[in-house]
Amino acid sequence: MKIIILVAIIVIPSLMVYLQQKSDKMRLFFNALGVVSAILFGYIAATSIMQIILEDAVFMTTIHAVFLSPTFLITGAYLGLFLIQRIIDSTIGQRAKP
């Protein structure tokens, strides 16, 4: 399972770079999805922390409930892949410059 995750972390961002270089619409799609993911991820994290503060709960044990949220996990996973894709794209762009 660990090998599959590692391969996915390498292959998916590489595929994203390839697709965005072929189509400006794909670049726009990946960027828009990144913005939506960042907003949702931040909202879930902020509201979870706010709820803990309002309830005066034990932070270290209660905050881990956020990991049960599929939306939090999916948006976080996409942001990780998106960041790798942006780094690859930036590296390719810098390498192409003389």
The pLDDT of residue 62 is 79
| Nearest CA among 96, 98, 94, 82 for reference residue 14 | 82
| pLDDT tens string 30-75 | 999 999 999 999 999 999 889 888 888 776 777 888 888 999 999 9
The pLDDT of residue 98 is 66
- Residue 87 CA to residue 17 CA, distance in Å, equals 10
Q: What is the pTM of this model?
A: 0.86
Query: Please, are residues 48 and 66 in contact by the beta-carbon 8 Å criterion?
Result: yes
